[in-house]
Structures are given as C-alpha cells and as structure tokens.
Copies of this chain bind each other. A is one copy, B any other.
Amino acid sequence: MTETVPRPTLEAVAARAGVSRATVSRVVNGSDGVREPLAERVRQAVDELGYVPNQAARSLVTKRHDAVAVIVAEPETRVFADPFFARQLRGISKELTAHDNQLVLLLTEDRADHVRVGRYLAGGHVDGALVFSLHIDDPLPELIQRAGLPTVFGGRPDFNGGRGGVSYVDSDNRGGARDAVRHLLGLGRRRVAHITGALDQTSAVDRHDGYRDVMADADPRLVARGDFTPASGERAMRELLGRHPGLDAVFAANDLMAAGALRVLREHGRRVPEDVAVVGFDDMLPIAEQTEPPLTTVRQDIEEMGRLMARLLLRDLDHTGTPEETSGARPDGLILPTTLIRRSSA
C-alpha cells in the first residue's frame, strides 16, 4: 500500500544542483559563505526533491538532538486530575517548537521508572530536561541533576543539600498567599483561618508561610491541615468550625479544598461571603467558576510558567560556545507573579 519511497539525501540534492554535499549542507543550515546564484540553485533543488535532513545522521556528528525531555513525576493520580499539567505542557511546547526543538515526554510512577529515566537521560537522546517534581524528598531531581544534563525545574525543588545553582521556575506562592490573606483583612475579617495543602510539597509550604507572614500572631488553631483534595478540604473545614466557631474567613491552599470548605460551610448554615469569606488558590477552571458562590482565588499563569521553563533551558543550551560562563551567572530561581481574582466568595 504505502510504498516506502527512499527519501532524498544530501547527495541527491547536491547532484541535482551540480554542487558538492558541503555546499548543500551550508545552504540548508543557513551558514554564510555561499554566493547568491548558487545558493538559490540549491534551494530550488531542495524544494524539487522535497529534501528533509536526516536528523539521526545530523546528531551523530553534531552531538545535538534539538530535543528536550519533559519529565513528570506523578506517583499519585491527583496530578492528572487537574488541568495544570496540560497547560504547562502547552507553554513548553510553544516555546520549544518556536526554537525547533522536540518535546519528549517521560511520565514516571515508581522507582523502576526512575532508573529508566536516568538511563535515558544518560543515553544522550536529549539536550536537556524539564522536570516537575512535586514532592519533597523525591529522589528524582537529584538523580537527574547527576545525569549532568542542563535542567530546569518546575516548582521550587527541595534538595537535601541545597547546592545552589539549580534553576527553576515557580509561582509566587508565598506572595500570592499574602495577597489572599490581606484581601480578607481588607474586607474587615479578623479571624482568618487557613487550610494547608500537602506539606510535603513546597507550594503548600510556601502558601502556608505566606499566610503566616500576614497572620504572624494568629491563634495556631486557625490552621488546619489538608492535602489538596476536596475531601481534605471538607474535613479541615469541619475541624476549624469545631475548634474555632468564631472564624470569619478561610484561605484554602487550593480551589479544590476551597470548594470542599464551601460545602461544609453551607451545611453548617454559614453564608458565604456574609458570615465567612473564602479565598482559594490556583483559579482552577472550571471548578473555581462553578462553585456556589463562585470562588475568589489566586491565579497563577501556568502556561507562562511552562514557557519560561523552556526558555531558560534553551538559553542554557545555547551557552555551548563559552565554557567559562557555564559555571557562573546561573539564574537560580524565577518567580512568577500571581493575581487575585475577585469573584463572590470574598
């Protein structure tokens, strides 16, 4: 059926244009040193034959692959329940394709996968890696750094030995949390509670820190621990209501938990926002818009985050010519601003 037509080679193009392989190569790769009439003839031959360079042959000699790995650690299914992943991927994809790089996706679940990923990276198939490590003490980040590939992390990683020189992109979780709490204070609320996320993730820790920055001397009983799931939001809300019935506001570390909290508040006859104001985090759509009432929340530009990760990495990869600059001048972390989205819940 589909006859596998042998693809034209550099040689063929050269023959047709009546030049040497070297010249065709020069034209194809856009290097100067080929005068106009000749260059045009080559370009025409390329078009006529529909020539496309063989990437394998090329990287065999250049040692570049124009490909980067995106590694997503997802021991839990939860990662996949939210739409962030896709957004981030899209940001990355856009930036990558704009620079003619391919995106090789590596999804990992367990230790066995880690080994595989390590081998893959060491195997020199890609020029760099973009890594999403969600959990503190995840061995993956270190493992990857040790592979010696240029790497950018999504979300602040937490290395045991903070060696510095780790580049990453993250949202301003702490600042966003501060904004959320200040907004509640601005509404005249004084007993602002907090439902934390899973504290084995830096984002949850940072949001909690942001809350404490503003509510430094608040009653510690105003803080209940959640794990980012809706059920944990409900549980935490009940807990808070039980031990601190007088609370007049809640800042949940994500929208899912905020949605859970909302349900419990309604159950208990508390009106939102009149009796208790609620603020979430993420602006996870369509959830945040669909709660009752619609959720006031902290938005992070997740797609931009992906784009920046890719940009950072690509810039690193271009530094091939200057070995001296490679060691110093590394931009450690890049923090993206967040925006408070005001809906009806606060």
Contact residues on A (Cβ < 8 Å of other chain), bracket: 35 or more
Q: Which of chain B's residues have a CB closer than 8 A to the CB of A74?
A: 90
A4 in contact with B104 given A65-B56, A83-B83, A286-B287 (CB within 8 Å): no
Kindly provide the distance from the CB of A258 to the nearest chain B CB, expressed in whole angstroms: 11
Counting CB contacts under 8 A, is A271 at the interface? Answer: no
- Report yes or no: B124 in contact with A7, Cβ–Cβ below 8 A: yes
Counting CB contacts under 8 A, is A18 at the interface? Answer: no
Kindly provide the distance from the CB of A59 to the nearest chain B CB, expressed in whole angstroms: 4
- Report yes or no: B286 in contact with A230, Cβ–Cβ below 8 A: yes
- Copies per complex of this chain: 2
Interface-facing stretch out of A21-29, A37-45, A115-123 = A115-123
Q: Which of chain B's residues have a CB closer than 8 A to the CB of A160?
A: none
- The CB with the most chain B CB atoms within 10 A, among A7, A50, A70, A81, is that of A81
- Report yes or no: A54 in contact with B124, Cβ–Cβ below 8 A: yes
Q: Which of A52-79 contact B (CB under 8 A)?
A: 52-57, 59-60, 65, 67, 70, 74, 79
Counting CB contacts under 8 A, is A93 at the interface? Answer: yes
Counting CB contacts under 8 A, is A87 at the interface? Answer: yes
CA distance A333 to B38 in the complex (A): 51
With A74-B90, A89-B107, A286-B287 already in contact, 6 other A-B pairs whose C-beta atoms are closer than 8 Å: A1-B165, A55-B124, A55-B125, A104-B104, A230-B290, A256-B286
Which 6 A-B pairs have CB atoms at the shortest separation, nearest pair first? A93-B107, A52-B123, A2-B148, A56-B59, A80-B86, A56-B60
